[in-house]
Structures are given as C-alpha cells and as structure tokens.
Amino acid sequence: HRAEPVGAPQRDEDERWMQLALERAMSGNGRSNPNPTVGCVIVKDGRVIAEGATEVHGGRHAERVAIQSVADRSVLRGATIYVTLEPCSHTGRQPPCVELVESCGFARCVVGLADPNPLVAGGGLRRVRQAGVELRLGVLRDELIAWHLPFLFWQLAKRPLMAAKWAQTLDGQLAYDDGHTQWISGEESRAYAHWLRQKYDAILVGAGTVLADHPTLTVRSCRGPHHRQPVRVLFDPRGRILSCPEAQWRVLLQRTFSPETPTVLLTSNAVLENARLSAPGMEHVHGVPLPEGKSPILGLYEALSDPLVAERVGRPLHSVLVEGGPRLLSALATADLIDLAHVFTAPKIGGGQRHRLGLATAQGTAFQLHPFAHARLGDDLLTEYLRPDTGSLLE
Ligand code: AOF
Ligand code: ZN
C-alpha cells in the first residue's frame, strides 16, 4: 500500500500537455458556442510547436488552427497531437479534421474525450487508428467532461443544461436579511463568475432578482479573456416586472440588453398581451409566452428549447446559468432540475433567517448532488456539483 501524495495528483507527461490543451480551450471560452471550444497542442521533442482553439461558430476547428499555424508542415512528422475532443470525421461547416490529422504524419494522437455527436461518434478515432497513428483516449477525462459539459449534455440529453450558480455565507444565506447580496463573495469569486457567464448560452434570473438587484447580467471584469455576452432570460411567470409603472420596467429591462445580446422575457400570454413591449427602445426585448396548462418551471424548458426563440435571439440556448434568486433556485431544486451547480461559499456568518434555499417537498426528501471539483478563490471556496444522473449520462 503506497501512500498517495497530499494535494494535486502526480501527472504523467500526456496529462501535462493535455492540461495545456485545456487551458488553450479555456482561453477561447464561449467563443465558438454552440460548437464546443476545443483546445489542441502539438508537441515534438518535449516542446510545443503549435497550438490552437476552436474559432467562432462556423470557423476553423482547434486542430486546423494549430496545424495551419506552422509554416513548414514537415516539422509535424513524428510529433504528438493533443486534442481535448475527438477530431471530427464529418463535413459540417468545416471539412473533417481527421483528414488533416492523417496527412501530417503524427506519431501519436492523444484525445481527451470521444465526441458524442452522432455525425462523429468514434468515426474520428477509428480513422486515426487506421492511419497507423498511435492513439490514447481518456486523458484528463474528468476535467474535460467538466469543461465540455454544455456541449456533451446537449448531445446526450437533448435538452438545455440547467446550471445553477450562487454565492452563500457559511450558514447558507444567499443574501443578508436586509436583502443586500452584492458583497457575499469576494473579488476573485466575482471575477470567476463573470468569466463563467460566457461559457453558457444564456443567463437566467427570476423576477425577484430583477426587482431587487437591477442586474445587467453582463460579462465584465473577467478573469481571462472576454469573448461574448450570453443572452439574458428573465423568468417572470406572474408578470411582476411588467406590473411596475412603465417608466420603471423600461429602465429595468433596458439595463439587461444591448443590440448584440437581446433579452428574453418569459411570462404569461395574458401579461404580454397587455404590455407595450413593442414600443420604441424595446426592440431587443423578446416577450415569449410560457406554455399554458403546465407548471411554469416545466414550461421554462419548453420555451428555452423552442426553435422560434433561437431564431429571435440569433442563437440556440443549449445551456443556461441560473443566477437566482433563492426562490427560483429552490423551485428548480424542488422540481429536480438542477443539472450542475457552481457554489461559492464565503467565510462569513450571515446570522439571519431569510434568503435561503428551501424545498417544497416532503420532509426528509433531500435534493442530492455530487461534488466533482473544488477550488479556493481568495477567501472563498468554490465547489462544483453534478446531479448524480448527469454523471451517469456521461459514462
Ligand atoms: C473538432 N474540433 O475544434 C470542434 C469540433 O459545423 P462544424 O463543421 O463546425 O462541426 C461542428 C461539430 O464538430 C460539433 O458539433 C462537434 O461535434 C465537432 N466539434 N470537432 O474536431 C473542434 N469544435
Ligand atoms: Zn473538426
């Protein structure tokens, strides 16, 4: 029985290069959505000779960016190519990466994850092997699953990934009793949270948060590069926002959109019929009715995956980051609909009674999550959790 070192696990050479490929992917965070942002590094004689990450949707894939960055392709002979996701074997908006990989004379190809896209699904791996290139699959699997989760989830579950994010005190308050939320987590956590926003296609908040915090829900003061703004979705089944005086709801809604990134207001049909959302200045707010005859939370899914919504906001909403408030998060947990949670815990005791998560289920029926990653951010602790069946979906 050998004692394991405390702290970070020992990494082999392939894991260290794959870590670099993951970091390349992360630096392109959100840029290529709904395509996965893949990272690629090419290594020869212990040195990186090329690297790349997927470009904007429809643009070049990571492997092509890396390979085309070298002036003389003959240096690639005998090198090892590391790529976070299986090289594609289909012709989409881009020609198949695997053809390019085959033509370079690599000695080895190290792949993080197989691509569940039915157009690829192992086809790329098979061709790499057939070309006589040594293949290793599954390096840094867990980290790469966490990174590529929005893409993997959409491919496997065929519904939007619902990720929750909240910051809490040690005693589980999401805001102090006076309603003050701004400063629960520290500066590093907030910078990380901004960076995280662009990983998702949309940010979702409930009407309570809009009325209490007047949020803009933008990516700013980010840790790392900033590539895009997610679509903002306001969930307001009872029409609380539009029942404010018009001057007030105009200001609230205007804070949440810009011409490039519209806002979707999900509310009831009746509320939308009476509102003056089509008035000048409101062109970037799309009022979308929640389907009638089912719980608003279930209607939320239907509305998010509606192709008409994708068309109106100019992109599909395959993944959503729910940023609160406690009431919406509690409703999602009660309906067992949180697939993933990013939880920041600040070393403070709020000491109050309000703004906590609650479950409207029978006593003793807890909503269970499994931790899969944690990090220290300044004085805060970030823990990331998966729903147990999200984990098994990925087996
Ligand atoms: C790769 N490398 O960097 C990415 C891949 O429409 P296309 O041609 O851009 O193809 C999109 C699909 O390609 C996407 O659904 C996923 O299966 C794969 N993404 N593959 O070899 C990359 N981003
Ligand atoms: Zn490709």
3-state secondary structure of 384: strand
DSSP code at position 131 = T
pLDDT digits (tens, 9 = 90+) for 27-42: 999 899 989 999 999 9
Question: What is the model's pLDDT at position 395?
Answer: 73
Ligand 1 atom closest to 92 (CA): 8
DSSP code string of 283-329: TTEEEEEPPTTS-HHHHHHHHHT-HHHHHHHTS---EEEE---HHHH
DSSP code string of 44-87: ETTEEEEEEE--STTS--HHHHHHHT-S-GGGGTT-EEEEEE--
Question: What is the model's pLDDT at position 10?
Answer: 63
Question: Is the CB of 67 inside a 6 Å radius of any atom of ligand 1?
Answer: no
Task: Supply the residue whose CA is at minimum distance from atom 18 of ligand 1.
Answer: 88
Question: Is the CB of 89 inside a 6 Å radius of any atom of ligand 1?
Answer: no
Distance 37 CA to ligand 1 centre (A): 9
Task: Supply the residue whose CA is at minimum distance from atom 3 of ligand 1.
Answer: 61
Ligand 1 atom closest to 59 (CA): 9
Out of 15, 23, 55, 63, the active site residue is 63
Give catalytic status of residue 63 as yes or no.
Answer: yes
pLDDT digits (tens, 9 = 90+) for 84-95: 999 999 998 889
Q: For the chain, list the strands marked E by DSSP.
A: 39-44, 47-53, 80-85, 108-113, 134-137, 161-169, 202-206, 231-235, 263-267, 285-289, 319-322, 340-346, 370-377, 380-386
Question: What is the model's pLDDT at position 9?
Answer: 55
Question: What is the model's pLDDT at position 263?
Answer: 93
Question: Is the CB of 57 inside a 6 Å radius of any atom of ligand 1?
Answer: no
**The model's pTM:** 0.90
Question: Is the CB of 62 inside a 6 Å radius of any atom of ligand 1?
Answer: yes
Distance 63 CA to ligand 2 centre (A): 7
Task: Supply the residue whose CA is at minimum distance from atom 4 of ligand 1.
Answer: 61
Question: Is the CB of 61 inside a 6 Å radius of any atom of ligand 1?
Answer: yes
Contacts (Cβ under 8 Å, ≥6 apart) of 264:
202, 231, 232, 233, 234, 285, 286, 288, 303, 309, 312, 313
Contacts (Cβ under 8 Å, ≥6 apart) of 314:
262
Question: What is the model's pLDDT at position 180?
Answer: 74
Task: Supply the residue whose CA is at minimum distance from atom 14 of ligand 1.
Answer: 35
Mean pLDDT of the chain: 91
Give pLDDT < 70 ranges for the chain: 1-10, 181, 391
If one counts every other C-beta atom within 10 angstroms of the C-beta of residue 192, the result is 20
Report the alpha-carbon angle 373-376-379, nearest 5.
Answer: 145
